[in-house]
Structure 1
Amino acid sequence: MNVVTHQQLLQAQGFTVIDDIFTNAEVASLIAIIQRADSSNDTFRKTKDLFAIRQFLKEVPDVVPFVFNDMLKDTIYRLFGDGYKPVKSIYFDKPGASNWFVAYHQDLTVSVKEKADVPGFGPWTVKQQQYAVQPPLPVLESNFTVRIHLDDTDEHNGALRVIPGSHNKGIYRPETIDWSIETEVSCPVPKGGIMIMRPLLLHASSRTTNNHKRRVIHIEFSKEVLPAPLEWSELMR
């Protein structure tokens, strides 16, 4: 892995793709553990278009040693150094016949245990008993997300579409995108590979058109210490 190249891509484009972080056997183990999980909790969402598990690492703890294999831990350390910890996790299973899509947006909120009135943090939302709040911009600029792909993914089964460099423009409302100056690219990721992205990168996902599944483990990392009494909802030590 060319560390400098991936760091430069993260700085300039807001994302990078790295192949072969997980072997086929490791991917199979992850899928098997997920399939055994008890899906009766409120953090599980299942429709004909999407199966999602919020607080994934807490709800399915058996996946943790498989998710954080030596390759992933080494990659994160070499790209970002010490100090980053997982603070949010979601599993997305987009079936092959799914019409589910996501319009362009930035990931502007972080998940916390309880709601509290803290200067610079807001507005607030709550979804499936999970509080989310928009933090000050430096927190979002520091954080990064790792998306672990359990299937080959391209533009036909929900690979992210992104606007390179949009993460360097602060809060960027989708309705203000100037397509005369912006360029959209698709981010295909092979099975066992990862996409690393900045939360402020404008991104979207299309409907599936090739009848292939798209299963992704989405983990957000931060090295920020939240001001008391706020606490990360899923902080892993």
Structure 2
Amino acid sequence: MALNTTFAHDILQPGFTVINGIYSPEEINNIISLIEAADNSAETFRKTSDLFAIRQFLKEVPGTYNLVFNSKLKAVIQQLFGNDYFVVKSIYFDKPGSSNWYVPYHQDLTISVDKKQSFEGFSNWTTKQNQYAVQPPIEILENNFTVRIHLDDTDENNGALKVIEKSHLKGIYRPETIDWQNEKETLCRVEKGGIMIMRPLLLHRSGRTNNHKKRRVIHIEFSNSELPDDLRWAERMNETKGAPLA
């Protein structure tokens, strides 16, 4: 699968790109079937009236791994980022058709690690569902990227992301300081079977659903950064588990 150079430029400058047609309808249906058949009693599963989420998704629903990392996705990642990246986080989000769930503008500033320990440049420690998260040095965040796999058509009516173009180039950018006179907000429509690739420092938000249609997304974060000393990525999937980029 050969990519237009526009995609690489968009990731560097606006900070995101959308590539449709990565998954066939059959592949999407197979992924959804495995998710629906999964045991949702684990504490990594979260279900409310507005949201169903699975943290550590690729570990909790391992049968989806080869479906998610099909030949097209592997080719996209290799062409845009090379071969030295690995998975460091995966989450499944299901926003129901009746959801009023709204997420304001934010950057993805934390990574998941295996322990809490004092390291220079690592701050704002939190724990969620027995998993440690920490804000790493900004160089790590600047180098990471996220792939969002869309299992439904997504637009302004069912919570498609809105982003502030080029905000990932401005370091830590607090939402309350957004200069709306000079910033450009863009809606990211993605077709079912398409992907959105974005930098974690890109300011983004998700709106409410008003058309009673689902918005199901698999969110996967990648890094090529090694952590200091004996600190480990909590969800790292490397060569021993079938690295998609190896």
- TM-score for both structures, normalised by structure 1: 0.99
Does 2:135 align with 1:160?
no
Q: How many pairs does the alignment contain?
A: 237
Does 2:218 align with 1:217?
yes
Q: 1:84-126: CA deviations, max 9, x gaps?
A: 0010000000000000010000000000011111111111111
Question: SS at the partner of 1:25?
Answer: helix
Shift of 1:82: 1.1
Shift of 1:234: 0.6
Aligned residue number for residue 81 of structure 1: 82
Aligned residue number for residue 194 of structure 1: 195
Partner Cα distance (2:37, 2:229) in 1: 37
Aligned residue number for residue 144 of structure 1: 145
Q: 1:194-234: CA deviations, max 9, x gaps?
A: 00000000000000011100000000000000112210011
Aligned residue number for residue 228 of structure 1: 229
Partner Cα distance (1:116, 1:145) in 2: 26
Aligned residue number for residue 60 of structure 1: 61
Aligned residue number for residue 45 of structure 2: 44
Aligned residue number for residue 16 of structure 2: 15
Partner Cα distance (1:234, 1:3) in 2: 31
Amino acid at match of 1:219: I
Contact 1:116 1:229 in 2 (8 A): no
Question: SS at the partner of 1:79?
Answer: helix
Partner Cα distance (1:206, 1:186) in 2: 10
Shift of 1:3: 3.8
Contact 2:162 2:205 in 1 (8 A): yes
Amino acid at match of 1:176: T
Aligned residue number for residue 126 of structure 2: 125
Amino acid at match of 1:42: E
Stretches of structure 1 that go unaligned for 5 or more consecutive residues are none
Contact 2:3 2:76 in 1 (8 A): no
Amino acid at match of 1:178: D
Partner Cα distance (2:234, 2:152) in 1: 28
Amino acid at match of 2:3: N
Amino acid at match of 2:232: E
Contact 1:27 1:150 in 2 (8 A): yes
Question: SS at the partner of 2:34?
Answer: helix
Partner Cα distance (2:207, 2:173) in 1: 20
Contact 1:113 1:231 in 2 (8 A): yes
Partner Cα distance (2:230, 2:117) in 1: 7
Shift of 1:36: 0.4
- CA RMSD of superposed structures (Å): 0.7
Contact 1:3 1:78 in 2 (8 A): no
Shift of 1:128: 1.0
Shift of 1:183: 1.6
Q: Tell me which stretches of 4 or more aligned residues in structure 1 moved more than 2 Å.
A: none
123-132 or 216-225, which moves further after superposition?
123-132
Question: SS at the partner of 1:123?
Answer: strand
Partner Cα distance (2:86, 2:4) in 1: 20
Contact 1:3 1:79 in 2 (8 A): no
Partner Cα distance (1:82, 1:173) in 2: 32
Q: 1:123-179: CA deviations, max 9, x gaps?
A: 111111111000001100000000000000001101000000000000000000010
- TM-score for both structures, normalised by structure 2: 0.95
Partner Cα distance (1:235, 1:160) in 2: 26
